[in-house]
Copies of this chain bind each other. A is one copy, B any other.
Amino acid sequence: MPDTAGALLELIAGAQDGDVRKIARLISKIEDGGVEAREVLRALATYSGRAHVIGLTGAPGVGKSTTTSALVTALRSAGHRVAVLAVDPSSPFSGGALLGDRIRMQRHSGDEGVYIRSMASRGHLGGLSATTPQVIRVLDATGFDIVIIETVGVGQSEVEIAATADTSIVLLAPGMGDGIQAAKAGILEIGDIFVVNKADRDGADSTAREIRHMVELGTWHGWKPPVLKASAAQGTGIDEVVDEMNAHRAWLAESGEDRVRRHRRVREEITALILGAVRERLAERRDELEALADAVLAGDLDAYAAAESLT
């Protein structure tokens, strides 16, 4: 249908001119899936690959949303266009936060150079939605040179964010007993930059020391993750975080690691689309799946045979 294709190209042109509502409509088309999602991605295929994708993760209570807001302010001052995808169910962007947090966010609400979107999370624990890579692609193609993905650090999300972001920032806070514990659980492996937020509180130095010690013990290839202190609420230490983001980006480009990460992101994207299509087909055959589960429960069939009969 040439009309629809024309309308779509117009929508894309408007989005690229910075019309926030048109950007939102493009992203909604992606999230809805189907033919239009495909058309959008096809039209945008040649535009993408420029944005710096930042993952920001940390346990609830470490101050992720305040830090995101402070980073947005600093990045805007430096002339960047910044998009924020909030996957954190407790984030003010996602609507789950305290009033104070929401008010703090509103300083960006009239700014055309900032786009904020709450993303549905997969499962209660904040896993990234399967459409996240495609949404990044839309934001990238519509002129956002920095995309921040904010996700709560108690899910599979850390691992997914490390597979999706160019630069992963892990946020910690003093006195939460989570320094060594978090490190134990694998968070250390995914951080490109560690930030101890609420640096004015007791214990910030010892938390930073703990993480530095773990970084020293770890193996790192070319880039040794810095451990910074900041107080996002007071606005201190944020410029240093931005400096390290830029330094990491420069290192990614020099080392060729950026290509490795982008390649991995595209592989993840293709794989997610394939698995998503399989899940969709299974959802359409829900009745059959139920009946097969009944047969397995009754001992009439083994699970492998059930799986095969649905393939």
**Chain A contacts to B: CB under 8 angstroms:** 37-38, 41-42, 44-49, 59-61, 89-90, 123-127, 133-134, 137, 152, 154-156, 158-159, 175-178, 181-182, 184-186, 189-190, 259, 262-263, 266-267, 269-271, 273-275, 277-279, 282, 289-290, 292-294, 296-297, 299-307, 310-311
Residue of B nearest to A292 (CB): B270
Q: Give the distance in Å from the alpha carbon of A152 to the alpha carbon of B275 in the complex.
A: 26
B270 touches A38 (CB 8 A): no
Nearest chain B CB to A41's CB is how many angstroms away? 4
Contacts of A46 in B (CB 8 A): 299
A273 touches B303 (CB 8 A): yes
B274 touches A305 (CB 8 A): no
B304 touches A185 (CB 8 A): no
B296 touches A271 (CB 8 A): no
A303-B134 in contact given A176-B177, A274-B311, A310-B270 (Cβ < 8 Å): yes
Q: Give the distance in Å from the alpha carbon of A177 to the alpha carbon of B127 in the complex.
A: 23
A273-B127 in contact given A60-B185, A278-B278, A293-B267 (Cβ < 8 Å): no
B270 touches A296 (CB 8 A): yes
Contact of A310 among B185, B274, B304 (CB under 8 A): B274
Nearest chain B CB to A43's CB is how many angstroms away? 8
B299 touches A271 (CB 8 A): no
A302 touches B38 (CB 8 A): yes
Query: Which of A48, A89, A125, A300 counts the most chain B CB atoms within 10 A?
Result: A125
- Beyond the given A42-B302, A60-B181, could you list 4 further A-B residue pairs with CB under 8 A, ordered by the A residue number? A44-B302, A125-B155, A266-B293, A274-B310
Contacts of A299 in B (CB 8 A): 45-49
Give me the 4 closest cross-chain CB pairs, A-B, nearest first: A124-B186, A156-B156, A273-B307, A46-B299
Nearest chain B CB to A204's CB is how many angstroms away? 15
Q: Give the distance in Å from the alpha carbon of A307 to the alpha carbon of B98 in the complex.
A: 41
Contacts of A126 in B (CB 8 A): 185
Contact of A184 among B60, B127, B133 (CB under 8 A): B60
Nearest chain B CB to A13's CB is how many angstroms away? 18
Contacts of A177 in B (CB 8 A): 61, 175-178
Contacts of A306 in B (CB 8 A): 270, 273
Contacts of A263 in B (CB 8 A): 290, 293-294, 297
Contact of A181 among B37, B61, B303 (CB under 8 A): B61
Q: Give the distance in Å from the alpha carbon of A282 to the alpha carbon of B307 in the complex.
A: 17
Residue of B nearest to A309 (CB): B270
Give me 13 A-to-B residue pairs in the complex whose CB atoms sit less than 8 angstroms apart, sorted by A's number: A37-B304, A47-B299, A60-B181, A60-B185, A125-B155, A134-B303, A155-B185, A267-B290, A269-B296, A273-B307, A274-B307, A275-B278, A277-B307
Q: Give the distance in Å from the alpha carbon of A311 to the alpha carbon of B185 in the complex.
A: 35
